Structure 1
Amino acid sequence: MNNLMPIRSVILLFWLSISSCAIQVPPSGGDRDQEPPKLVSSVPENQATSFKSNELNLFFDEFIQLNNISSQLVISPPLEGFPEVKVRKKHLYLSWKDSLEGNTTYTFNFGNAIRDFNEGNILGDFQFVFSTGEFIDTAFISGELTDAFYGTPVEGALVMLYKDNEDSLPLKRKPLYFGRTEKDGRFKVRNIAPGSYKIFGLKDSNYDYLYNSPAEGLAFLPDKIPSGSEKINLRMFTERPRNELMKAYSSFPGKFSLVFSFSADTVSINWLGNSEKLRFHTIEYSENKDTISVWYLNTDSDTAAFTLPFLSSVDTTYVRLFSKKTEQLARGKRSMEFNAEAVLQNGIFQDYFLPLNISFKHPVEKVFPEKLLIKQDSMDFSVKKINLVEPVKSMLAVEGDWTQGANYNVNMLPGFARDIFGNENDTISFSMQIRRETDYGSASVDLSGLTSGKVYHIEFVNQRGEVVRKMTVESDKVLLAENLLPSQYTLRLIFDENKNGQWDTGSYFQGEQPEKVIYFPETVTVRANWDIELKWNLSDQSK
């Protein structure tokens, strides 16, 4: 018995030890640090005057690290060479060999280079300023930067100032001075020397302070502006890139498509080889015109070859076509099935004042109206006219005196339509309901202050960003937009300077500003069976 006591004691001590370990709670690290480093002291002090040294010593409240300092650090006015930069714990040291200009304010813009060591929190747009003279330059330029098309503020964009006036400035040289836009799009470039400056706005996606991609947003004014200027309005746009062929593919025998980087309605194509054997039928453009679909009749063809004169390269492009002779015949046959669907709102509703549109998969060669059967609430219904919509003829417009609120059943019997390949449809059936006139609202817009002789487009834009109504005016006028579905609409006016029927972006090298767009100051609410009257005076904005 006595021999067991030591063993029991050891076991008891072991369990107490385990229990003691189990209930210990390590100290919590607390919330994640989200604060960037703070400058606590410096030699010289920030905003110092009569500075004669060639080095800076900056001390922060925590350990720091640098990120892309060679591209982020912008010194204005520039030094001859890039300074030597060293970091040791909380200390940032900079030195340079160049002699500083006398009576000059220098700004060291660190961009987003400084961040804390542990969490990487960025000390954004940190600036250190000193003067070699007896005072700090206090001139400034301020204003607002907005998106050229949507009119919304652009946050976080660079606003860059240059003394020179060369066209290549934003591409090849970093700015002499710069600032950054706030959330509301406003900006203020501070501590600049008195004088006139070339100004640019830049959405600098790669943080190099240079405009080197058409995808980066750009804004500019054609002339220099003096220091002290306020209420400068910059409109940012994305330049239209060089049009390129992005993709060429065959959908099924009888059709292939060419996809371009933007609108291709003016693209010319040089067909090569035996392309005449394709027996071209028609060319179809996508809604935004960036895709060309070529319909051809010889479904045995297996290749199309062409060049595009607008491209710098004259290489021949080949498109491998689905054909009846290829190993992909089975897929091709499925794709060649000839079918159609009605173009209805929410899959069921048809406007009482418009023809019924039926979209076919292939261009239609001929229709046989006697094989179209429509019933209105179980009673036979006679249509007024059936039209194939030019030029592709893949859309059929069925005109009829639709009864508001009535239900219709539509049946297209086999052989109602024959496509350009000789295929005929199987039975296609659907139902639809005609909207009532009281389901819609209307809006009249009394436009005034327009410049006579110019062309303007007024657009009603729904909550999905779709233009549901577009009207064109050339002078003051009351416009009536009828049969609008109940919704909240944005109303905008586009200045069509080149009268091509659409909004055009800007071009820096051609010196073209984006076409102006003005938005009605309030959201327009359209209610069913209700008319709304709007007055829009554009006297101060239409010049």
Structure 2
Amino acid sequence: NGIVTDAFNLNPDEFISIMLYELDTTFNDSTIYQRPPNYISNTLDSLTSFSLQNLKAGSYKLVAVKDEGKNNLFDQDQDKIGFVEDTITLPTDSVYTLNLFREIQDFSMSQPSLVSGNKIIFGYTGGEESIEIQPLSVLPDTLKSLLVKEYEKDTLNYWFTPPMPDSIVFQVKNEAREYIDTFTVKSRDMVADSLILNPSHSRRINTEEEFQIISNTPLVQADTAAMSIIDQDSALVSYTHKLDTLANRVTLMFDKEPNSGYTIRVMPSAFTNFFGQSNDTIFYSLGTGSLADYGNLRLNLIGESEIPLLIQLTNERGETLREKYLEEIRPVDFNTLEPSTYRVRVIFDDNLNGKWDTGSYLQKKQPERVLYYPQPIEVRANWELEQTFIIQD
């Protein structure tokens, strides 16, 4: 008997297959990929609990799989999995928890594609620890290139100038995944990408948010002397900036007052990209709302934890809206929130990398622990809300 949970999401999936494998001489770690279990049950569409009955005494391996392929196997590229580390010895009165997670997929590389006159994309799945891409073809000395990861995508962009020759043969290596392969990209007559700048916000911005200017091509320079911020009283607003060449964006950080308007002026050549292109004059207009339009939430965290915590405020779909990283347990404030219903998620950051890490069946590694505040939190306009959240390490 036992229950099924989801390692990251608040609620587990439906129709989870509970699989029990007898630990005989034929069983090894690869068995769950290769053959159906000795016993199987399913949570169906309304239960998170399971029961396996009429079982033969002996030693077993217990796993749970979201069996997308309906083949009673674990397919790593599409299924979630949960497992109990210890051997299950039957008969037993123990109740087991199977915590489902999606593994990082085995590394693979897609055929690279020329998508514009100055950009080749290399799509991949799995780990990105040490992907190296080198041209094997002899290229002209005049050809310049830059390899940049696409922001929040499993894609590497190979930018180049001037236009490429007839074809280029690339070698792709990922030493951490013991992978090496070669690919050929053929030239085509295509229009090259040119500099386009887009704002992160259109007209309205929260006082807790930062304004960003996002480029479609690699940025190499942002000249703050050519940018200024003016408030509604025509007074200059001081700011600092951060150029992120990996995400191709510039963040402008400045204090924003409620019920205020701001104009951001970007003069010519404030931004320069890898190809030497620069911008024309741009104006962005922003406004903030009244404090009465928003609500504030304070979370009084109680308990002890030797592990740093990532406190995330999410919507009902589990999408992260705000987050704060805590080295120690203390109250957390989320201010100027839009009236809505929120959830609070706590990630126990065991490896101190500031994000949630999944598990691995073959490595016998469980995912990092996640804890949710038990109820949804409704925030209303012009409210000061305080909630107590007990953290148990």
TM over 0.5: yes
CA offsets 1:458-500 (integer angstroms, 9 cap, x no match): 2111245431222223443222233333321111112223332
2:205 is aligned with 1:205: no
Structure having the higher strand fraction is: 2
Q: Is the 8 A contact 1:262 1:289 kept in 2?
A: no
Contact 2:258 2:288 in 1 (8 A): yes
Measure, in 2, the Cα distance between the counterparts of 1:200 and 1:307: 39
Counterpart-to-counterpart distance in 2, 1:266 and 1:222:
30
Q: Structure 1's 156 and 462: CA in aligned 2 closer, same or farther, altered over 3 A?
A: closer
Are residues 1:470 and 2:323 paired?
A: yes
Which residue among 263, 286, 289 is the counterpart of 1:435? 289
Question: What amino acid maps onto 2:87 in structure 1?
Answer: K
Say yes or no: does 1:154 pair with 2:18: no
Cα shift readout 1:40-82 (whole Å, capped 9, x = no counterpart): xxxxxxxxxxxxxxxxxxxxxxxxxxxxxxxxxxxxxxxxxxx
Q: CA deviation at 1:395?
A: 2.3
CA contact (8 A) 1:265 1:289 kept: no
Q: Secondary structure at the match of 1:518?
A: strand
Question: Secondary structure of the equivalent of 1:170?
Answer: helix
Corresponding residue for 2:164? Answer: 301
Matched-pair contact (CA < 8 Å) for 2:150–2:156: yes
The one-letter code sitting in structure 2 at the alignment partner of 1:280 is S
User: Separation in 1 of the partners of 2:19 and 2:342?
Assistant: 36
Report the secondary structure of 2:33's partner residue: helix
| Matches of 1:280 and 1:144, distance apart in 2 | 53
Equivalent residues of 1:157, 1:201 under 8 A apart: yes
TM (norm. structure 1) is 0.63
Question: Does 2:112 match 1:248?
Answer: yes
Q: Tell me which residue corresponds to 1:488.
A: 341
CA contact under 8 A between 1:306 and 1:318: conserved in structure 2? yes
- CA distance in structure 2 between the partners assigned to 1:497 and 1:401 by the alignment: 34
Residues 494-515 of structure 1: CA distance to partner in whole angstroms, max 9, x if unpaired? 2223332222222111111222
Q: Decide whether aligned partners of structure 1 residues 509 and 485 sit closer, same or farther in structure 2, where only a CA change above 3 A counts.
A: same
CA shift, 1:394, in A, is 3.7
Counterpart pick for 2:150 among 279, 286, 289: 286
Query: Partners in 2 of 1:160 and 1:258 — Cα distance?
Result: 37
Supply the distance in 1 between the matched residues of 2:106 and 2:131 (Cα, whole angstroms).
12
Q: TM-score, normalised by structure 2?
A: 0.84
Structure with the larger RCO, 1 or 2 (CA within 8 Å, 6+ apart): 2
Corresponding residue for 2:82? 219
- The runs of 5 or more residues in structure 2 that have no matched partner are none
Q: Which of 486, 497, 513 is equivalent to 2:350?
A: 497
Instruction: Tell me, in whole angstroms, the C-alpha distance in 2 between the residues paired with 1:425 and 1:251.
Output: 23
1:269 is matched with which residue: 133, 139, 143? 133
For 2:276, the equivalent position in structure 1 comes to 422
Report what 2:205 is aligned to: 350
Tell me how large the CA RMSD over aligned residues is: 3.1
The answer as to whether partners of 2:219 and 2:245 remain within 8 angstroms in 1 is no
> Higher helix fraction: Structure 1 or Structure 2?
1
SS at 1:341 equivalent: strand
CA 1:227 to 1:156, structure 2 compared with 1: closer, same or farther past 3 Å? farther
Return the match for 1:193 from 51, 56, 59.
56
Which of 18, 22, 30 aligns to 1:168? It is: 30
Q: Match of 2:72, SS? A: coil
Number of residue pairs matched by the alignment: 384
Q: 2 CA distance for matches of 1:394 and 1:212?
A: 36
The Cα of 1:304 is off from its aligned counterpart by 4.7
| Structure of larger gyration radius | 1
Q: How does 1:374-523 map to 2 (within 5 A)?
A: 376-377=231-232, 380-385=234-239, 387=241, 389-392=243-246, 394-400=248-254, 402-412=256-266, 414-452=268-306, 454-523=307-376
Does the CA contact (< 8 Å) of 1:154 and 1:184 recur in 2? no
Alignment of 1:100-139 (within 5 A): none
What corresponds to 1:316 in structure 2? 182
Residue 192 of structure 1, CA deviation: 1.7
Kindly provide the CA deviation profile for residues 228-269 of structure 1, in whole angstroms up to 9, marking residues without a partner as x: 435321112222211212252334344333221145254233
* Residue number in structure 2 paired with 1:239: 103
SS of aligned partner of 2:244: coil
Decide whether aligned partners of structure 1 residues 224 and 151 sit closer, same or farther in structure 2, where only a CA change above 3 A counts.
farther
